[in-house]
Amino acid sequence: MKNIRIKLAAVALVLCAGTASAGVDGSAAKIRSAVASGSVDAIIAEVERAEGLACDDCVQLVTNLTEDSRFQVREVAAWWFAKRPALKRMLAEQFDRELVTGGTTNVRNAADFLGATMSYTSLPNLSAAVRRDVGAEAKVAVVRALGVLGHKNGDDALTFAMTDRDAGVRAAAVRAWRDIYDQADAGPVVGRLTDADANVRAEAATVVGAMKTLAGRAGLEALVVSDPSPVVRRNAAWALGKLGQAASAGALAKASTDESSLVRMTAKASLAQLR
């Protein structure tokens, strides 16, 4: 990122030329102090206060934050650059390249920036990055970015990510599926109802129910009566209520006597929604 920082600083100097400097040093100093404190809340607050600040020192400081280890910090840094189209474009071009060549941390940072700044031109490289041999943290960030962008062109990448060896990646892909604009149904998610990981099954049940995908009814009925996780059973019960099929009455009636009070209450509420 060294070269891009130099270029950004040069552009910032041009953009800031002739701008009143009153309060600039103080605000930059506050960002620096917040970074030194290590407090996520303090960093976010100071970057947000600098929303309209023309300050070349701030560019350097916030650029550094796009590589922070904490998602919330990277997110607010991307938000700050989104307010500055010329700077955002330069940084987005660099991050787009890092999706292709970078390691796990580089891809993670790039995906979070490109998603948060709604950089739709990066969709092809984001979709390709999820198939690269990078760590789960990077893939989760890529999937998250695809969900934020919400474009149908990301469907194939999300479907692929649902079969990743890491459960966190699979769960993130299932969640992101629902965020795609004009998504017709949760067809690819149905297969995750039998995932080996309980969190993935729980996420899948929620998405199938929310998107009212009838192809998932049998899978949800199996989960609601036999899954070892009460969270999965509860989510399946809720989803069956959303599907509203009378054929699910037997499974929901059985679930209404579940050992978990949350499952029992949800199942009874869903029974009342059946047609």
Flag whether 73 is in a domain.
no
Placement of tokens 């100071």 in the chain: 46
Q: Do residues 169 and 161 touch, judged by C-beta distance below 8 A?
A: yes
pLDDT given for residue 54 in this prediction: 78
- For residues 95 and 178, membership in a common domain is answered with yes
Report the distance separating Cα 47 and Cα 228, nearest Å.
45
Report the distance separating Cα 140 and Cα 157, nearest Å.
12
Q: Is the pLDDT of residue 88 over 60?
A: yes
Flag whether 191 is in a domain.
no
191 DSSP assignment: G
Three-state DSSP class for residue 229: coil
- For residues 220 and 141, membership in a common domain is answered with no
- For residues 133 and 176, membership in a common domain is answered with yes
Report the distance separating Cα 258 and Cα 5, nearest Å.
58
Placement of tokens 């100097």 in the chain: 13
- Which of the two residues, 1 and 166, has the higher pLDDT score? 166
| Structure tokens given for 175 | 């969640």
- For residues 107 and 170, membership in a common domain is answered with yes
Q: Phi and psi at residue 38, in whole multiples of 5°?
A: 80, 0
Q: How confident is the model at residue 52 (pLDDT cuts 50, 70, 90)?
A: confident
- For residues 99 and 154, membership in a common domain is answered with yes
Flag whether 18 is in a domain.
yes
Structural domain total, the chain: 3
**What's the whole-number mean pLDDT along residues 135-143?**
98
- For residues 129 and 172, membership in a common domain is answered with yes
- pLDDT one-digit tens code per residue, 233-253: 999 999 999 999 999 999 999
Q: What secondary structure, in 3-state letters, does 41-90 show? A: HHHHHHHHHCCCCCCHHHHHHHHHHCCCCCHHHHHHHHHHHHCCHHHHHH
For residue 246, give the amino acid letter: A
- For residues 97 and 53, membership in a common domain is answered with no
- For residues 210 and 150, membership in a common domain is answered with no
Question: Which of 65, 93, 115 delimits the end of a domain?
Answer: 65
- How many helices (H) and strands (E) are present in the chain, helices listed first? 17, 0
Flag whether 192 is in a domain.
no
Residues 6+ apart with CB under 8 A from 253: 267, 271
Mean pLDDT lowest among 13-27, 68-82, 208-222: 13-27
Q: How confident is the model at residue 7 (pLDDT cuts 50, 70, 90)?
A: very low
- For residues 167 and 89, membership in a common domain is answered with yes
Report the distance separating Cα 44 and Cα 163, nearest Å.
35
Q: Do residues 59 and 9 touch, judged by C-beta distance below 8 A?
A: yes
Q: Exposed (0-12), middle (13-18) or buried (19+): which is 110, by Cβ within 10 Å?
A: buried
Flag whether 12 is in a domain.
yes
Q: What CATH number is attached to the domain comprising 213? A: 1.25.10.10
- For residues 242 and 215, membership in a common domain is answered with yes
Report the distance separating Cα 185 and Cα 24, nearest Å.
50
Question: Which of 183, 216, 241 delimits the end of a domain?
Answer: 183
- For residues 61 and 119, membership in a common domain is answered with no
Q: How confident is the model at residue 25 (pLDDT cuts 50, 70, 90)?
A: very low
Q: Measure the CA angle with vertex 190, ends 184 and 194; round to 5°.
A: 165
Flag whether 37 is in a domain.
yes
Flag whether 248 is in a domain.
yes
Domain that holds residue 98: 84-183
Flag whether 197 is in a domain.
no
